[in-house]
Structure 1
Amino acid sequence: MKINVMNMAVFSVMLALGTSCNQKSDQDDKIKALEDKIAQMETGNTAVTPVNAQATQAADPATLGAFGFPEMEYDFGTVKEGQVVEHLFKFTNNGQAPLVISNITASCGCTSPDWTKTPVKPGEEGFVKVVFNSANKSGAQAPTVSIQANTNPNVTRLRLKGTVTPKIAGAAAPVGPVKR
């Protein structure tokens, strides 16, 4: 009986030592991996390629249009609240391929764009019309439109800027409930 207990004790000690060796080996591997990462960070080589990254290549200039806007911003000055400001931004396609505007979005609901819907051939002109409705607006305003097209970069922004004065000068809007 004593021999069985002794054998069992020796077996348990050997099993514990064997397990701790495996754990130590795993720990050594993890420590080594962390040390490698630290070494990469210290050398400035921190670029890590994500697993879902796609290979990209530079766009061929022969497939791109290029905006040539004489102005990218229009200052409409000072207008009274409720006035509608309209400005036509003209552009020339300075690229090597027909320029196609796929979409234009406005920064707010007070601004609406219109644009040349057909491809603009190299050397030809197109337009982007921006309409700003100053109703319920006051103070400095700077609405923008973002143009998505086959250009580099593929998003171009145009901006209107100016000041809107309230309909009734000096009258502030009531704050809170009005007592009658």
Structure 2
Amino acid sequence: MKRFALIFSALLLCVGFVVAQSGKGAVISSAAPEFDFGIIKEANGKVSHTFVIKNIGDAPLVITRVATPCACTTPEYSQEPIAPGREGKITVSFNPAGRPGPFFKNVAVYSNGRDGAFTLRIKGKVE
């Protein structure tokens, strides 16, 4: 009987852990994670695009860092938490000075989201 009680208690404990972990947490999403600037003129200077991101999880989303591949690409974002079901914005700017030809840049968005880094992409061609 003691063995049955021990097994039953362990089973209840495992079920409790599973139920406690069933929430999604914060989850970042974007309907349009890629933007094509098309052909841009180097002489016209910096270009920018604002990405709309959404928290489709059930906990507040906090963007902790946005990493770009080079100094030619710079991000701007709010560090305020994004409530579940709400949207936030990340503006990515690209400076074409001295960079003729096609470009493809991945921008990594780090957050408390369950899926780790989320990638935004910009591309275009500098003339």
Structure 2 gap ranges (5+): 1-17
Please identify which structure carries the higher strand content: 2
Shift of 1:84: 1.2
Structure 1 140/61 Cα, relative in aligned 2: closer, same or farther at 3 Å? farther
Match of 1:100 among 54, 57, 62: 62
Larger RCO (CA under 8 A, 6+ residues apart): 2
Matches within 5 A, 1:1-180: 60=21, 62=23, 64-82=25-43, 83-165=45-127
**CA root-mean-square deviation:** 1.9
Runs of 4 or more consecutive aligned structure 1 residues displaced over 4 Å after TM superposition? none
Q: Secondary structure of 2:88's partner?
A: strand
May I ask how many residue pairs the two structures share in their alignment? 108
Distance 1:153 1:68 in 2: 10
Distance verdict in 2 for CA 1:65–1:86, change over 3 Å: same
Q: Could you tell me how far apart the structure 2 residues matched to 1:108 and 1:61 are?
A: 38
Closer/same/farther in 2, CA of residues 61 and 87 from structure 1, 3 Å limit: farther
Residue 107 of structure 1: CA displacement?
0.8
Shift of residue 63, structure 1, vs aligned partner:
6.5
| Residues 27 and 114, structure 2, Cα contact 8 Å, conserved in 1 | yes
* TM-score (ref. length: structure 1): 0.56
Q: TM-score, normalised to structure 2's length?
A: 0.78
Identity rate of aligned residues, in percent?
35
Unaligned runs of 5+ in 1: 1-57, 166-180
The residue type equivalent to 1:115 in the other structure is Y
Cα separation, partners in 2 of 1:93 and 1:63, compared to 1, 3 Å: same
SS at match of 2:23: helix
Cα offset for 1:117?
A: 1.1
Deviations 1:74-112 (A, max 9, x none): 000001114211000011110010001111111111000
